[in-house]
Copies of this chain bind each other. A is one copy, B any other.
């Protein structure tokens, strides 16, 4: 799915709600799909500020993030650091997150078997799932090494 397809999809999502693809919304869409990292509203606001002289207000950033999330273009994630993190969805199949408690690095992973077992767990209790969210907290490869050498030094 290329960029102009995404743009059209967003436009059509907006049109369905009698909203328009304004320049601000367009720029936000572009910026959001230009990164494959996780970002916060504030980070995005900063990027947009740098990208061109013209400013987009925080209010518009937040409002557009909500629109994008509703439309399924973005997913949000609370990594436990106060601010909500976003990542774009299209071209990214569903995945879960490993979050490093030392360096805050976020790594994505996907395990089909875990997905299935989640469905089963819900079903067997009479629930129907709409979505889920799995976060594994620990130390990444790098921080683990650092942590171990600190331990042995002390």
Of residues 98 to 154 in A, which have CB atoms within 8 Å of B's CB atoms? 98, 100-101, 107, 109, 111, 113-114, 117-118, 121-122, 125-141, 144
Q: Give complex CA distance A117, B78 in Å.
A: 22
Cβ-based interface call for A46 (8 A): no
Give the number of copies in the complex: 2
Let me know if A72 is at the binding interface, CB within 8 A. Answer: no
Q: Given A78-B80, A133-B135, A134-B132 in contact, is the A140-B121 Cβ separation under 8 Å? A: no
B residues less than 8 Å from A126 (CB atoms): 140-141, 144
Q: Is the CB of B137 within 8 A of A130?
A: yes
User: Shortest Cβ distance from A38 into chain B, in angstroms?
Assistant: 16
Contact between A111 and B117 (Cβ–Cβ < 8 Å)?
yes
Interface size on A, residues (CB 8 A): 32
- Select which of B101, B114, B121, B137 is within 8 A of A121 by beta carbon: B114
Are B137's CB and A133's CB within 8 A?
yes
A residues engaging B (CB < 8 A)?
A: 78, 80, 98, 100-101, 107, 109, 111, 113-114, 117-118, 121-122, 125-141, 144
